[in-house]
Chains A and B, each alone.
Chain A
Amino acid sequence: MTKREIIRMVLDGRKPPYVPWSCGFTKEAREKLQPYFAEVDLEVALQNHLLKLGSDVGFFTNLGNNRLQDVFGVVWDRSIDKDIGNVEGCMLSEPTLEHYTFPDPLDQRFFADIPKRIAKYGDRFRVFQIGFSLYERAWTLRGMQNLLMDFYDHPRFVQELFQTIADYNIAQLKEALKYDIDAVYFGDDWGQQHGLQMGPKLWRKFIYPVLERMYRAVHEGGRYIFIHSCGDVDELFDDLIAIGVNCFNPFQPEVMDVPTLLRKYRGRLIFHGGLSTQKILPYGTLEDVRAETLRLLEMGRAGGYIFAPAHDVEGDVSHENMLAFIELIQGQPGYCDN
């Protein structure tokens, strides 16, 4: 069976022959890991089951001095966080879109390498990524504290901003659906270590209706929906299922009860993630990593689960700990690298 078929089995509620995986690594972690795979490119060596298409964080113009500008005009400082960076300044300093023009959602850079990558990794399950897909895009433009206060101070502006972001995303994902892809993988962090940043009341009032509209566009195209949202957000799972989400990531064990939720939602929502990146990977021993990986693989054997570290592995994780979980997932009975 191909990796694509295995993921489909999991999404359709069937028991797979082994637990599939799709693991991410930050730039620093990739640099640490690459030497252990000799000449083989990490993307090949990892044998991830998801083929990520489009771009999760978008495209950038290098302004020099570790500063990059995204297609929305937002400047990111990557002097410390080399993968995404931190927003510099505030694009929408006032609560209005009057003087701001959204970028072209059909920018060819988002689609250019799709045919080539599908040709190269045709056996993998293809996901088109839309990162910063709503709330995060809004705060990168408006500033997080401003946006959080705008929920009360300028609710109409927040609604207009969210709907305009959704229009942009829908135009982009409709273009992506013209390719032979399987799912759209949205990313939007709503959580904190405890609870939602904006709370469930504001989430349901402002975010839920816009998600419903974006997700409907994916379902109308007959594709699956994945959502990545960091933090303690499991109180939203029933709402997300109601609007058609098929898979949730990152399934952080520090903020949610992974085994209980996997059992509770099996057949309704699948999970991608689960391996502790806040504790076990950076601070655990080799044995801790092996034990936790085996525990997750055992839990996922019945289905409903795609293994992964609960965040792109950071550079503070030893290469031994990275290799330990990679070896176990690739050594599962039933899996053969084809």
Chain B
Amino acid sequence: MSIIDDLRQSVIDGDMNIAQELVQRTLTENMPPEQILKDGLISAMAEVGRRFECGEFFVPEMLISARAMKSGLALLRPYLTATNVHAVGKVVIGTMQGDLHDIGKNLVGMMLEGAGFEVVDLGVDVSPDKYVVAIKEHRPDLVACSALITTTMPYMKNVILSLKDAGLRDRVKVIIGGAPVTEKYAADIGADGYAPDAASAALCAKELILKKG
């Protein structure tokens, strides 16, 4: 196996120490940072997502893989910046106003990062106004909204209405998800995408970015 395959495997195995060591080695061997990112880290997280979707991986495996990926990415980031390698897109993510649940939102954030996105995490209990302020500040391509309970899900519609009112709706794609959320609800409120889990959220985000051009 090549060193890049080993790096990919270490991320799938969730072995943070090996992943860091291998990123260092690839850099020492002057491998292009973009190749390390794409063939090592992003490719690994795509496989983690595939295994999660088919029920081979669960939340613990996803968490330790994401941690390994992030630790490798932290070492790689200065080299990516130096060689002008940009993120595939920027996402502002948060849990709806009135909702303090964060693990689902965190998993989506990790998978988005693992798919090459820059993620701005607004945390939990995020009001529509906070989204508007964050979008003006960070100028993301995508906005991701999470809700675990039926009482907070309606705020997703309010986020979309607030974006319209602020004249920002055409600038960003909106994806939504969470236990009570359905594809139909996403269509009803005018969201651009819906994902039932973290792995498919990353795929959905990539598709929307491609469409956005």
The residues of B that contact A86 with a CB separation of less than 8 Å are 100-101
Interchain CB contact (< 8 A) of A193 among B55, B63, B101, B196: B196
Please state if A199 and B151 are interface contacts (CB–CB under 8 Å). Answer: no
**Cα-based distance from A145 to B106 in the complex (angstroms):** 9
Q: Quick one: closest A residue to B181, CB to CB?
A: A193
For residue B61, which residues in chain A have a CB less than 8 angstroms away from its CB?
152, 199
Judge if A315 is at the interface, Cβ distance under 8 Å.
Answer: yes
Question: Complex: how many Å from CA A282 to CA B106?
Answer: 27
A276 to chain B, nearest CB (A): 10
Name the interface residues of A150-183: CB closer than 8 Å to any CB of B: 151-153
Task: Give B45 Cβ to nearest chain A Cβ, in Å.
Answer: 16
Contacting pair A151 B150 (CB below 8 A): no
Assess whether A152 is in contact with B100, with CB atoms less than 8 Å apart. no
Nearest CB on B from A51, distance (A): 28
Q: CA A193 – CA B178 in complex, angstroms?
A: 8
Nearest chain A CB to B141's CB is how many angstroms away?
A: 27
Contact of A314 among B59, B63, B149 (CB under 8 A): B149
Q: Contacts A77-B100, A81-B100, A278-B180; is A152 near B150 (CB within 8 Å)? A: no
Q: Determine if B58 and A199 form an interchain contact, defined as CB atoms under 8 angstroms apart.
A: yes
- Min CB–CB distance A89 → chain B (angstroms): 13
Given A314-B149, A314-B150, the answer on whether A198 and B59 have CB atoms closer than 8 Å is: yes
Q: Does B99 contact A (CB under 8 A)?
A: yes
Which residues in chain B, 68-85, are within 8 Å of chain A measured between CB atoms?
none
Interface residues of B in 146-182 (CB under 8 A from A): 149-151, 179-180
Report which of B63, B150, B197 forms a contact with A148, defined as CB distance below 8 A. B63
CB of B151 within 8 A of CB of A194, answer: no
- A144 at the binding interface (Cβ < 8 Å): yes
Contact of A80 among B59, B100, B196 (CB under 8 A): B100
Would B58 and A80 count as touching, CB distance under 8 A? no
A194 with B196: CB separation less than 8 A: yes
Are A277 and B196 touching (Cβ within 8 A)?
no
Binary per-residue interface labels of chain A (76-106) against chain B in the complex, 1 for a CB within 8 Å, 0 otherwise: 0100110000100000000000000000000
Pair B58/A197 contact, Cβ less than 8 Å:
yes
Residues of A within 8 A of B (CB-CB), count: 28
Given contacts A278-B180, A315-B151, A316-B150, contact A198 B60 (CB under 8 A): yes
Cβ contact within 8 Å between B58 and A198: yes
Q: How far is A297 from B2 in the complex, measured between Cα atoms in Å?
A: 62
What is the total number of residues of chain B having a CB less than 8 Å from a CB of chain A? 24
Tell me how far the C-beta of A147 lies from the nearest C-beta in chain B, rounded to whole angstroms.
9
Query: Which residues of A have CB within 8 Å of B98?
Result: 80
Q: Which of A153, A202, A279, A283 contacts B58 (CB 8 A)?
A: A202
With A77-B100, A86-B100, A145-B106 as contacts: A282 and B150 at CB distance below 8 Å: yes
B63 touches A149 (CB 8 A): yes
Q: Is the CB of A197 within 8 A of B196?
A: no
Decide yes or no whether A195 CB sits under 8 A from chain B: yes
B187 at interface, CB cutoff 8 A: no
CB-defined contacts of B196 to chain A, threshold 8 Å = 193-194
Q: Which residue of B lies closest to A193 (CB)?
A: B179
Name the residue on A nearest B53 (C-beta). Answer: A194
State in angstroms the CA–CA spacing of A239 and B101 once bound together: 29
What distance in Å separates the Cβ of A7 from its nearest Cβ neighbour in chain B?
29
Interface positions, chain B 4-47, Cβ under 8 Å from A, are 14
**A198 to B100 CA separation, bound complex (whole angstroms):** 21
Q: Which of A152, A194, A196, A198 contacts B197 (CB 8 A)?
A: A194
Q: How far is the CA of A250 from the CA of B74 in the complex (A)?
A: 43
A198 to chain B, nearest CB (A): 6
| A residues less than 8 Å from B58 (CB atoms) | 195-199, 202
Contacts of A283 in B (CB 8 A): 150
Q: How far is the CA of A193 from the CA of B150 in the complex (A)?
A: 13
Report 12 cross-chain contacts, Cβ distance below 8 Å, ordered by A residue.
A80-B99, A86-B100, A86-B101, A145-B103, A148-B59, A192-B179, A198-B58, A198-B60, A199-B59, A199-B61, A283-B150, A314-B149
B-binding residues in A (CB < 8 A): 77, 80-81, 86, 144-145, 148-149, 151-153, 192-199, 202, 277-279, 282-283, 314-316
Q: Which residues of B contact A (CB under 8 A)?
A: 14, 55, 57-61, 63-64, 67, 98-101, 103, 106, 125, 149-151, 179-180, 196-197
Q: Knowing that A148-B60, A194-B197, A278-B180 are A-B contacts, what are 18 other residue pairs whose CB atoms are under 8 Å apart, sorted by A's residue number?
A: A80-B99, A86-B101, A145-B63, A148-B59, A149-B67, A151-B60, A152-B60, A152-B64, A192-B179, A194-B196, A195-B55, A195-B58, A198-B58, A199-B58, A277-B150, A279-B180, A314-B149, A314-B150
